[in-house]
Structure 1
């Protein structure tokens, strides 16, 4: 009898061990499958918890004054760390703590290791100045025919005369290039997925912009039909490498007052974003209206483009509104340079032969003096005040 009991106990113990081992294996498989699938879109609570740790975010869409576009900023031959360091220092001195910085798929294709190394250097310089950049992967604005190598010189008096799209016309229409774009998204984000120097990832800037006033005649027909599925896929690629930072793609034009008034691409942008981002280049009242529209999604908000003086969007109008609602505020342009964004959008149609009296974008001249001292004083004041 004793022997029988011992045998039963031994069998039971063996079964228990087998069940434990199976359970452990199942848990490992489940974890591996989850890791392979990537993370989910953040809950509202996760997004709010992240945002609460950031403080009030204020910065600019940044391109060093010596670069005409994303390619010139990051290609090895023109990567200008001296200017980047100097100009980010000016941003730090007025209380800015973030920058929105555009990358490009061709940089990764050209030399992925070198590009990642230069981006790492840029992040080191940013950290030195207490700035956590938001990194933009794709962009539908301006020239649809990007080319590697030496970039063209600016066209005198023309706003963003050398800025290029990513992906360009050819890659966007050619699905055989999508695996290359997938490698770019996954490879770039994976390299910095747990890096606290990176604020967040902006998946696609103004995805449905067809550049009607500049390159509209040479744009890909039905461009948005190509962009929408690729943008959604890009969010999936990004989440697959489990970034610790939030993902977003900002709405920028149209009626966002209700879910029913959203265009399909805007609906996808909002649904896929961990944190809501948006653009507004209009007056303070319109800026506030847009914030109220987007409050219905109950997620943190960052305005990733604003401040176009000639269009009625000023620091003194929009920045206090952003602070009132605890909305991050990133204006277009830091230093007047090769992008020539002191000239208005209509410089594509109208000739400007001298610096405009009213700058459209940008804060500093190339020597570091402010375009308007009162603006710099306001930014300093608002960024130094404790949020209520």
Structure 2
């Protein structure tokens, strides 16, 4: 067990002055390549415990479930050969109880290490419900994809600059607590920061949200870097026509993501030819690539076709999601408009395992295991 900082010392560290510029410099391409060369081929899932409807329920003290985590991460490694998981945190958990959150993250890391898994933690997220509230979370809406996932921060907290001190304390506190912890793979600072919400939340954004994120995101990279993490920092691009360096269509948020990330991460739920095209754009940045969201069977992003390409190209792959459960992402995105209350989807949209640990398709589990242990140059061309 880690030796915990006293609450006073932790508070002092959280509000410490900004480090000198030399301490907050992005990794060079050579440094990023050297880090990536030391990793196994990175393969895993976006993970929330099957009984948690969102990241609050997963990490709040009343519902944090080490038994479920141990069971499900065991399935990930044993059945799929996974060595990482992308795991979401929430700023309200830090506001509620900083030391308690750090201890629960440490417990999670201890369990993950037991199963050979080094997670990538996500600090902020712009997807789904923009009004998160601590405490008991509502139960899943029948037949609806991700019906209880929440944004971090809330839309009202986001647009108020008075909350920047809290955001900074959260970033520096969490990253600082684990900045030299070999059990942590990487830090994903903001998931889809330019997402307008998704589902039935597309018209719920407040005026100025995108401008605030464009202002905050570079600061968040600086705050995280001020803790001198030994792990890479990133934020993944996911929309737009061209992610090549200097592309005229890049927004200020996308430029920050691509110009500040130590390793380049991205999302792609498209068919193989579109996946290859995105990879070709991102290769021009000269940094390691990790796809932190993929697998949408109904949209053409399938294990059988996408995973071998990524293995051959040495691209890390973290699909959405893992165990069928309260987030209900076996249902497609359009279930927000047409809930699957009378029938199951003909083909699952996301997820790899049924709630009892049985693979949705045994062939998918076999392919994950096989590619996880296959040298890159031994993967056959498609």
What TM-score does the superposition give when structure 2 sets the normalisation length?
0.91
Report the 3-state secondary structure (helix = DSSP H, G, I; strand = E; otherwise coil) of the residue aligned with 2:149. Answer: coil
* 1: CA distance, partners of 2:243 / 2:257: 15
Which position in structure 1 is the counterpart of 2:58? 73
Task: Give deviations 1:238-292, integer Å, cap 9, x for gaps.
Answer: 0111111000000001122532232221111000100000000001111111001
Q: Is the 8 A contact 1:135 1:202 kept in 2?
A: yes
The reply on whether 1:195 has 2:184 as its aligned counterpart is no
* 2: CA distance, partners of 1:256 / 1:119: 36
Paired residue for 2:285, among 297, 302, 305?
297
* 1: CA distance, partners of 2:170 / 2:87: 16
Which position in structure 1 is the counterpart of 2:327? 339
Report the 3-state secondary structure (helix = DSSP H, G, I; strand = E; otherwise coil) of the residue aligned with 2:376. Answer: coil
Matches within 5 A, 1:1-388: 36-37=20-21, 38-93=23-78, 94-258=80-244, 259-260=246-247, 261-353=249-341, 354-388=343-377
Query: Deviation of residue 211 (structure 1)?
Result: 2.3
Task: Give deviations 1:303-327, integer Å, cap 9, x for gaps.
Answer: 0000011111101111111111110
Task: Give deviations 1:335-381, integer Å, cap 9, x for gaps.
Answer: 00000000000001012123212101000011100111111111111
Task: Give deviations 1:48-77, integer Å, cap 9, x for gaps.
Answer: 000000121000000010100000000000
Question: Which of 1 and 2 has greater Rg?
Answer: 1
Query: Deviation of residue 222 (structure 1)?
Result: 3.7
* 2: CA distance, partners of 1:241 / 1:320: 37
Q: How many residues align?
A: 357
Query: Deviation of residue 216 (structure 1)?
Result: 1.6
Larger deviation, residues 372-381 vs 105-114: 372-381
CA RMSD of aligned residues (A): 1.4
Task: Give deviations 1:3-55, integer Å, cap 9, x for gaps.
Answer: xxxxxxxxxxxxxxxxxxxxxxxxxxxxxx99544331000000000000012
Report the 3-state secondary structure (helix = DSSP H, G, I; strand = E; otherwise coil) of the residue aligned with 2:276. Answer: helix
Report the 3-state secondary structure (helix = DSSP H, G, I; strand = E; otherwise coil) of the residue aligned with 1:217. Answer: coil
Over 3 Å counting, the alpha-carbon distance change for 1:213 and 1:118 in structure 2 is closer
* 1: CA distance, partners of 2:199 / 2:153: 20
Report the 3-state secondary structure (helix = DSSP H, G, I; strand = E; otherwise coil) of the residue aligned with 1:303. Answer: strand
Q: Which runs of 5+ in 2 are unaligned?
A: 1-16, 378-382
Q: Is the 8 A contact 2:197 2:204 kept in 1?
A: no
* 2: CA distance, partners of 1:299 / 1:158: 37
Query: Deviation of residue 384 (structure 1)?
Result: 1.7
* 2: CA distance, partners of 1:375 / 1:308: 14
Report the 3-state secondary structure (helix = DSSP H, G, I; strand = E; otherwise coil) of the residue aligned with 1:166. Answer: coil
Task: Give deviations 1:175-195, integer Å, cap 9, x for gaps.
Answer: 111101100000000000000
Q: Which runs of 5+ in 1 are unaligned?
A: 1-32
* 2: CA distance, partners of 1:281 / 1:275: 20
* 1: CA distance, partners of 2:273 / 2:309: 9
* 1: CA distance, partners of 2:18 / 2:293: 35
* 1: CA distance, partners of 2:121 / 2:204: 28
Runs (4+) off by over 3 Å: 33-37
Q: Is the 8 A contact 2:159 2:208 kept in 1?
A: no
Higher helix share: 1
Over 3 Å counting, the alpha-carbon distance change for 1:185 and 1:143 in structure 2 is same
What TM-score does the superposition give when structure 1 sets the normalisation length?
0.90
* 2: CA distance, partners of 1:166 / 1:357: 33
Which position in structure 1 is the counterpart of 2:12? none
Larger deviation, residues 44-53 vs 215-224: 215-224
Query: Deviation of residue 217 (structure 1)?
Result: 2.1
Over 3 Å counting, the alpha-carbon distance change for 1:79 and 1:229 in structure 2 is same
